[in-house]
Amino acid sequence: MKPKELTDLSQLCIHTITLKPWSIEEAAKKFSASGVKGITVWRDTLEGRNIKQTGKMLREHGLTIVSLCRGGFFPNKDAGKRQVAIDDNRRAIDEAAELETSILVLVCGADPSQPLEDSRKQIQDAIEALLPDAESAGVRLAIEPLHPMYADSRSAINTLSQANDMAEAVHSPWVGLAVDVYHLWWDPCLEKEIKRCGENGNLLAFHVCDWKVPTTDLLLDRGLMGEGCIPLKQIRGWVEETGFNGFIEVEIFSNAWWQKDQSEFLNKIISAYREYV
């Protein structure tokens, strides 16, 4: 099924990191003036700021704070370091609550000095340890599976199937998933796993960008929608067939785009959203 055209910007959210050269105040002003309705805040943009006031400022610009990015990085061979990570994630949950957003996105991490299965077990243990904090703060934890090229150190959860397994094993209303096309577009089971995720009520967030051909940097060369080979409309169709009608979040890390004029980039994001997503 072909998804409906995105004629207005009511579902458009942009991550602060997408326009990294801008401060959060500048992003708020420019998003608001351009009709963008949602913002996902990266923790680094909050440094040195009063988080409650920043949340208020964003809402005064008419923005919905879709989520806070990011917690995670749980696995470590050293139990003491695992505890440090859990404590940092407790702070991230508090920050999300102060911002008054209901989702904290998790980049789960991996420790290359141990088997992936060990890292996965430590991720699940850490998420379970955080459940009481998530519940009392009213913040849901969104596990984001990452492309397998990051299995060494960024995430031991690399397919939506693995993420679905973990969310189902934890089985809590405070844990769900973030589907990011950059990480998952290649997966032959994607349609089936998106359906499964939606049926279990676990689909919390949908991130878009594009996969450039060739990709010159495995972290910082994401494409603007339409610049690459991801079948964005098809994947959005699968996501919406589950009943998902939340924000569509543009998350682009790109040295090339960060070097350009950011107002021009914002205009390009808006037109690419209308044309290619």
Report in angstroms how near the CB of residue 144 gets to Zn ion at its nearest. Answer: 5
Contact of 133 with 93, CB cutoff 8 Å: yes
Q: How far is the CB of 174 from Zn ion (least distance, A)?
A: 20
What type of residue is 160? Answer: L
Q: Which CB atom, from 221 or from 251, has the smaller least distance to Zn ion?
A: 251
Q: Pick between residue 180 and residue 221 the one whose CB is nearest to Zn ion.
A: 180
Rounded Cα distance between 253 and 250, Å, is 10
CB of 207 to Zn ion, least distance (A): 4
- As measured in angstroms, the least distance from the Cβ of 251 to Zn ion is 5
Residues contacting 27, CB < 8 A, separation 6+ = 14, 16, 19, 39, 45
Tokens of 243: 């009943």
- The residues pairing with 175 across neighbouring beta strands, listed in sequence order, are 141
Smallest distance, Å, CB 180 to Zn ion?
A: 3
Query: Please, which residue, 82 or 182, has the CB nearer to Zn ion?
Result: 182
Nearer to Zn ion, 127 or 250 (CB): 250
Residue closer to Zn ion (CB basis): 15 or 82: 15
Residue 149's region, left for phi above 0, alpha for psi from -120 to 50, else beta, is: alpha
What is the rounded distance in angstroms from the CA atom of residue 16 to the CA atom of residue 28?
9
**Which is closer to Zn ion, CB of 31 or CB of 150?**
150
Closest CA to 181 of 223, 217, 153, 123: 223
Task: Report DSSP letters for 202-222, one per residue.
Answer: -EEEEEE-B--SS-S-TTTBP
**Which three-class secondary structure string do you get for 3-43?**
CCCCCCCCCEEEEHHHHCCCCHHHHHHHHHHHCCCEEEEEH
Q: Which residues contact 193 (CB under 8 A, 6 or more apart)?
A: 159, 160, 161, 164, 187
Q: How far is the CB of 163 from Zn ion (least distance, A)?
A: 12
Which residues contact Zn ion by CB under 5 A?
Answer: 180, 207, 251
Residue among 210 and 251 whose Cβ is closer to Zn ion: 251
CB of 235 to Zn ion, least distance (A): 13
Given a contact cutoff of 8 angstroms between Cβ atoms, the answer to whether 41 and 31 are in contact is: no
CB of 222 to Zn ion, least distance (A): 10
Q: How many CB atoms lie within 10 A of CB 240?
A: 17
Closer residue to Zn ion, CB minimum distance, 20 or 207? 207
